[in-house]
Amino acid sequence: MAKYFNPFTISVDYSNGKISEIAPIQCHLVDLKSHFSDRKAVEKTLSSGLNPLIYEVYEAFQPFMSGHLNFGTTILNPGKIAKEYFFTKGHHHVRDCGEIYTFFKGKGIFLLQTKNGETAEMPLKAGTTIYVPPGWAHRMVNVGKEELISIFCYDAAAGHDYSSIERTGFAKLVVERNRKTQIIDNPNFSI
């Protein structure tokens, strides 16, 4: 008889998003070099010896676990490179599927876009739950002063497709101008 996968629990610390049973995946500035719009500001920061931790992801599953749901937390630190706020890399899924995020700390903007050029931007704060339908690339941006923390869930066989975002960039940038958060068109975006 086939052995069933064992049920399990994880412990999320809701004060900081960390999950004690899981080793986080970390993303530093050097990993996002080509994603920030001001490349000179990135190089200046790195060459001064700084390589800040931008975000950490705690994932229950490695990808490509058919039939399972992947879930965990993302902790996106506050900060900016030049005028642009810290963000996650952003991706489509290889195997198209929806995804749910619930935010429990911080303040942000969720950027979405399709390969047809449609875009959407959603404000985020503690208590916001967002449904990302299939076909929408997604990125979160931290526009607050503390960490932006969320719990997510999606098809564990979906995989991440980073290539189209690396090629086109995001259609919108989230920047601070005149001490205000603004969503502007990315001058370097092309489908």
**Structural contact between residues 77 and 53, judged by C-beta atoms closer than 8 angstroms:** yes
- The residue nearest Zn ion at its CB is 99
Touching ligand M6P, residues 143-162 (CB under 6 A)? 152, 160
First to last CA, the chain: 50
Report the half-sphere exposure of 105 (CA within 13 A, side-chain side). Answer: 17
The single residue among 22, 41, 46, 57 that binds ligand M6P, judged by CB under 6 A, is 57
Window of 10-18, 86-94, 121-129, 166-174 that interacts with ligand M6P by CB under 6 A: 86-94
Is the distance from CB of 51 to CB of 28 less than 8 angstroms?
yes
User: Both tokens of residue 106?
Assistant: 């911080």
CA distance 93 to 98: 9
Q: Does 90 bind ligand M6P (CB under 6 A)?
A: yes
Q: Which stretch binds ligand M6P (CB under 6 A): 83-91, 103-111, 120-128, 168-176?
A: 83-91
Residues that bind ligand M6P (CB under 6 A): 57, 74, 88-91, 152, 160
